[in-house]
Structure 1
Amino acid sequence: MFAHNLLKTARAKHFNLKSFHTSIVTSFDVELTQVRYSNLKRGKYSSITDKHISFFESILSKSRVLTDAADVESYNVDWLKTVRGASKAVLKPKTTEEVSAILRYCNENVLAVCPQGGNTGLVGGSVPVFDEIVLSTALMNEVISINKTSGVLVCQAGCILENLEAKVAEQGLMMPLDLGAKGSCHIGGNISTNAGGIRLLRYGSLHGSVLGVEAVKADGTVVDCLSTLKKDNTGYHLKHLFLGSEGTLGVVTKAAIQCPPKPQAVNVAFLALDSFENVLATFRLARSCLGEILSSFEFMDCDSLMAAVTRLKLQCPVPEDTPFSLLIETSGGNSEHDEAKLSLFLDEATNKGYINDGTLASEPSRIKNLWDLREGITQSLSCDGYVYKYDISLPIEHFYDIVDIMKERLKGTPYIKCCGYGHVGDGNLHLNITAPSFDRNLLNLIEPFVYEWTSKHRGSVSAEHGIGFKKTGVVHFSKSGEALKLMAQIKAIMDPKGILNPYKVLPGDPH
C-alpha cells in the first residue's frame, strides 16, 4: 500500500485568489504600450469625438459610457501590468442588439474597437494598444437556459466562469473548463481565446465543448450559429472562426456549451518527485492505472511551488526542497472504485521509486487548498516585479528542457526566477522568468531564442493563451506563410476596415 508515512495533512487555510493583490504598481505607473514598443504605428483610424460619445450615450445611456480618465484607466491595463493603452472611452452594452449598433457605427466612422471580457489575458489581447474604444461585455451576464437532460448551457458572453460553474452545479452539471482566473474571466473571452485550463486532459478543448455561438461582425451583422445540437453537419462550421480569433473577426455575444455531469467522487494527490524523468514515468503510469477517471495532471517545479507557498502563506504539502511536484486529480461516479484505482496507482508509483512523498485529499476544503497552490502560481510570481511569460506546447520528451537551458543562458543577468509549471497531460508548459522590472536587455536574451527553440522542436509558441498583441511578431514560428496569408484573407473578408482588435493576432499593418 501507499506508505502512510508519506501522507501529510493539508492544513493550509482557505485563500481567496480573487482578493490577492499581485503588485503595488498602479495602472498609471505602467509604461504606455506605444512608448515601450516605439516601432508601432497607429492605424489610420478616426479619433473619438464628442459627437461619437453622444451617439453611444443615445443607445446605451450615459451611465454605460465611461469617459472619465479615472474610470477608463483600469480597462487600459492588463492585469499583469505589462501593457497599457490610451483609450478614452469604454462602452458597456447589455444586449446583442446594442453590440450590433455600436459596431455598425464604429465601422461606418472607422473607429477601432477593443473587445474586452474579464481582462485576464496574458498576451495583451484584451486591452487597447493606442486609443481604441473598449467594448466591455461585463454587463452581458445573463444565463439564458440550462437543459438538465442534454447538459447544454446557453448564456451571454459576459458571464463569469465561476458563476457559471455554480449555476450548472445546481443541475448536477459542471463546466468543461476550469482556470485559475475563473473568478473574473468571462466565458466569451475564454471562447475568443480558446482557453485551455486544467480540465482539458479529461474534457478536451472548447472546440469540442462549444456547440454554437452568436457573434457580431465588424459591420454590425449578427451571425447566429447558436446551435445546441451535438451533431450539426450542415456545411462549414462557422463557429470555429470565432473560437480562438481573439475578437479580430467578430464579437462573441452568446454561447451554447456542452456541460458534462458533475462527478460524484473527486480525489486529489499532491506528490513529490526527484526528477523530471520520474514525472514522465508517473504520467505514463497514471494514464495506464487511472484511465477514465484521470481528470488533471498538473506539474510544478520547486521555484513555482515555493512562490505560491511563500506569497499565499500556505503550508507546503511536500518537502520545500522538492525538485518537482505533481497535482493529480481523479473524478468519477463511485468513490470506492476511484479510491481503489488511485491506491493501486500510488502503491505502484511508490514501489517503482517514482514518488517519494505526498498527500491525499478527498474533502472539498482540502482539495481546494491544494488547488490554490497550483492556481496561485501565476499571481505569486508577479510579486517579484516583472514577469516574462511564455505559454508554449512541446513534445513531452522536451517538455522541461527549455527551463534548464534558459537558466544557463541567463546567468549573470538580473533575473530572479526561471521556472516552469503547467499541464503535462497536453504538453503545455508555462515558462516564467521574473525580474525586478522590465529590462530590454533581458528581453533580448529571452526572445526570440525561446520561440526559435520551441519551433525547432516542433512546438507551438502559444498553447492556450492566444497570440494577442505580444506574439504577433513570432506567430510565424508556428504558422506557415501560406497559413498566415489565409488568415489575413479571412480577416479582410470579415472585417475589411480592420476595426476589430487591431494590432492583435496577425502580424503587419492593421489598416
Structure 2
Amino acid sequence: MFPKIVRLNCFNDFKMLKRSLRNRPDFTKNRYKIPRGNYNYLHDDHIKYFRNLLGDERLIMDLSDLERYNVDWYKQVRGCSTVVLKPKTTDEISKILSFCNKENLAICTQGGNTGVVGGCVPVFDEIVISTELLNEIISFDENSGILTSQSGCILQNLDNFLAEKNFMVPLDLGAKGTCQIGGNVSTNAGGMRLLRYGNMHGNVLGLEAVLANGEIIDCLSTLKKDNTGYHLKHLFIGSEGTLGVITKVSIQCPTRPKFRNVALLGLQNYDKVLKTYRLVKHSLAEILSAIEVMDAGFMEFVKDKNNKKLPIDDYPFYLMLETTGSNESHDQEKLNKLFEEVIQKGLVLNGTVASDAKKVEEIWSIRDTISDGIKECKAVLLYDISLPLVHYYRIIEDIREYLGNKCLTVFGYGHIGDGNLHITIQLDNYDNQLKEDVENYVLERTLAYEGSVSAEHGLGFMKAHYLDKIKAKNTLNLMKNIKEMMDPKGILNPYKVIQKQH
C-alpha cells in the first residue's frame, strides 16, 4: 500500500485561509505557469519522521500559521507548502537534509522572509526549513571584534548585543528588525553603509553550512588571515540557499562610533546631485559612513503612505549624508563647513544638519521605513539594480516615459555611494503582461547602461530567468556544474537562481 499523501482537506480551515489571503497574490505556480520539478510529494511517513525529530511544537502544519511562510515580504509570490520545520541545531538540519535528499523532497530555507525577489518562499509545495530558532550568539572576542552566531539571529538583536560592548554589525538594513544574519550572508547583503564597511563577502570570516546530502561543512574560521587553500565560504555567500544551508557565521565587527551626524539636503537636478556627491566624498572622506539619494516621488510616497513630515521643503532631489567618528567637534565642524560650501556654490538649495540622537533617527526614519509603505500598496513592481553613476537616474526617466499613464508612480532611491538604485513602480492592479513588458524593458536598459540587474537582493525566483541573458555561457555553465556537484538532485531552493530542468 502506498503511503497516504498529506492534503489540505478541512473545509472550514480552507474558508478561513481564503479570507485571510483575499489580498494576497495568486499562487506562483499558477501565475507564472511553470512546471513542478520531479520531486516526491509529502507523505504521512515523512511527517512522522519530522515529528519524531523535532516534536509537535516545531512542526507547523496549521493553515493560518503557514500563511506567513508561504507569502513573501512584499506579497509578490505565494507558495503552497503544507509544512514548516523549525530546527534548533546544525545536527537537526543535517538529519533533515539527509532525509529529504534520500526521499527526493524539495526544501526552501527561510530566515526573516524579508527578501524582495521571491528567494525565500516556496514556489510549489517545498518543505520550508525556518532558521528562526537558530538564534544563539556563540561567542564574541572583544580583542579582535569577531562575532560568531547561529544563522537565525536577527540583525537588530546582534547589533544591540554588540552595542553594549561598543561594537556594531557592519551592516544596516531597513528590515534589520526582522531579517536574519544567515539570510544577509546568503544574499550577500550590502545595505546603507556599504560605502564605509563593505558587503558580506568582505566581512564574513567563516561559516558553517549543511550540504544537500546532510554533510556538514565546517569553514567557521575566526581568523582575519587564512590562505590555506580555496576560500569555500564564498560559495555559500550570495548563493541564496541553493548550494547549502548556512547554520553558523563569524563576522568581523568594527568599533561603534561615538558620534553621529546626519544632513538632509534638497537639490534641483541630478547633475547637481553628482557634483555634490563628488564634493562630499573628498570633504568628508574619513568620516563619511553613508550617502543616500531620493527623488521627489520617493518623498511624496513616504509622506502619503508613512505619514512622514520632512524637515525641509519639497525639492526634485534629496541627499542624506551620515558621518560617524570619535571626535564630535571635528566631525560637526567638517559637516557644517561642507553644508556652507554646497549652499554657496549653488549645488544645494536648502538643507538641515542634525547631531542630536533623536533628530538623527527622525531623519533616518524617512529612508528606513520605505518598505512599510511599499507593503501597503495594492500592486507594486520593485527592481534592485546597480548602474554607473553617470546613468544612475536616467533609467528612472526612461521608465516614466515608457510607461506613461499605465502606472500611478515611478520613483527611485538608493545607495548612490555604491551605485545601487531601487526602482519602485506603483500600479492600480497587477497586470501580468504589463509586468513582463516592464521587466524586459528594465533589463534592456540596465544592460545598455552596463549595469547589473541585481545589486544586493540576489536573483531568487523573480530574476532567475535573467541569468542566461546576463552571464557569459562559460560562466553560466560553471555555475550549473557547481550546483550539480553540490546538489545533484536539485532539492535545495529549486526554481531559484539556476532554474534546473527536470
Q: Shorter-chain TM-score category?
A: over 0.9
Indicate the residue corresponding to 2:26 in structure 1.
Answer: 31
Letter in 1 for 2:294: M
Indicate the residue corresponding to 1:14 in structure 2.
Answer: none
Indicate the residue corresponding to 1:111 in structure 2.
Answer: 105
CA contact (8 A) 1:384 1:416 kept: no
Q: Once the two structures are superposed, what CA deviation does each residue of 1:214-259 show, in whole Å capped at 9, x if it has no partner? A: 0000000000000001000011000000000000000000000100
CA contact (8 A) 1:305 1:374 kept: no
Cα distance change, pair 482–27 in 1 and its aligned pair in 2 (3 A): farther
SS at match of 2:483: helix
Indicate the residue corresponding to 1:5 in structure 2.
Answer: none
Indicate the residue corresponding to 2:5 in structure 1.
Answer: none
Cα distance change, pair 65–382 in 1 and its aligned pair in 2 (3 A): closer
| Aligned mates of 1:141, 1:373 — CA distance in 2 | 30
Letter in 2 for 1:147: D
Q: Once the two structures are superposed, what CA deviation does each residue of 1:129-156 show, in whole Å capped at 9, x if it has no partner? A: 0000000001110011111110000000
SS at match of 2:119: coil
Indicate the residue corresponding to 1:391 in structure 2.
Answer: 384
Deviates more, 1:431-440 or 1:463-472: 431-440
Indicate the residue corresponding to 2:237 in structure 1.
Answer: 243
The answer as to 2:50 corresponding to 1:76 is: no
| Aligned mates of 1:125, 1:222 — CA distance in 2 | 23
Indicate the residue corresponding to 1:11 in structure 2.
Answer: none
Q: How does 1:339-358 map to 2 (within 5 A)?
A: 339-358=332-351
Letter in 2 for 1:376: T
Q: Once the two structures are superposed, what CA deviation does each residue of 1:102-126 show, in whole Å capped at 9, x if it has no partner? A: 0000000000000000000000000
Aligned partner (choices 128, 138, 144) of residue 132 of structure 2: 138
CA contact (8 A) 1:269 1:328 kept: yes
Indicate the residue corresponding to 1:86 in structure 2.
Answer: 80
CA contact (8 A) 1:305 1:377 kept: no
CA contact (8 A) 1:27 1:74 kept: no
Indicate the residue corresponding to 1:419 in structure 2.
Answer: 411
Letter in 2 for 1:192: S
Indicate the residue corresponding to 1:404 in structure 2.
Answer: 397
Aligned pair count? 483
Letter in 1 for 2:250: A
Aligned partner (choices 440, 449, 452) of residue 460 of structure 1: 452
| Aligned mates of 2:279, 2:321 — CA distance in 1 | 12
| Aligned mates of 2:415, 2:226 — CA distance in 1 | 31
| Aligned mates of 2:21, 2:164 — CA distance in 1 | 38
Q: How does 1:111-190 map to 2 (within 5 A)?
A: 111-190=105-184
Indicate the residue corresponding to 2:324 in structure 1.
Answer: 331
Indicate the residue corresponding to 2:12 in structure 1.
Answer: none
CA contact (8 A) 2:145 2:253 kept: yes
SS at match of 2:250: strand
| Aligned mates of 1:508, 1:273 — CA distance in 2 | 47
TM-score, normalization: structure 1?
0.93
Cα distance change, pair 130–149 in 1 and its aligned pair in 2 (3 A): same
Q: Once the two structures are superposed, what CA deviation does each residue of 1:67-118 show, in whole Å capped at 9, x if it has no partner? A: 1212212100001111000101000000000000000000000000000000
TM-score, normalization: structure 2?
0.95
Letter in 2 for 1:308: V
Q: Once the two structures are superposed, what CA deviation does each residue of 1:411-457 show, in whole Å capped at 9, x if it has no partner? A: 131x1110100010000000110112211232133121111111122
| Aligned mates of 1:433, 1:139 — CA distance in 2 | 35
The answer as to 2:497 corresponding to 1:505 is: yes
Aligned partner (choices 343, 350, 357) of residue 364 of structure 1: 357
Deviates more, 1:475-484 or 1:41-50: 475-484
Give the aligned CA root-mean-square deviation in angstroms: 1.1
**1:27 Cα deviation from its structure 2 partner:** 3.7
Indicate the residue corresponding to 1:492 in structure 2.
Answer: 484
CA contact (8 A) 2:73 2:375 kept: no
CA contact (8 A) 2:494 2:500 kept: no
Indicate the residue corresponding to 1:209 in structure 2.
Answer: 203
Q: Once the two structures are superposed, what CA deviation does each residue of 1:325-377 show, in whole Å capped at 9, x if it has no partner? A: 11100001111111111122112111111111111111221111111110122
Uncovered stretches (5+) of structure 2, i.e. residues with no partner: 1-18
Letter in 2 for 1:462: S
| Aligned mates of 1:200, 1:477 — CA distance in 2 | 27
Indicate the residue corresponding to 1:475 in structure 2.
Answer: 467
Letter in 1 for 2:382: K
Letter in 1 for 2:29: Q
Indicate the residue corresponding to 1:194 in structure 2.
Answer: 188
Uncovered stretches (5+) of structure 1, i.e. residues with no partner: 1-24
CA contact (8 A) 2:244 2:492 kept: yes
Letter in 2 for 1:506: I
Aligned partner (choices 268, 275, 292) of residue 298 of structure 1: 292
| Aligned mates of 1:508, 1:471 — CA distance in 2 | 14
Kindly, what percent of the aligned residue pairs are identical?
51
CA contact (8 A) 2:75 2:375 kept: no
Aligned partner (choices 40, 50, 60) of residue 54 of structure 2: 60
SS at match of 1:474: helix
CA contact (8 A) 1:160 1:184 kept: yes
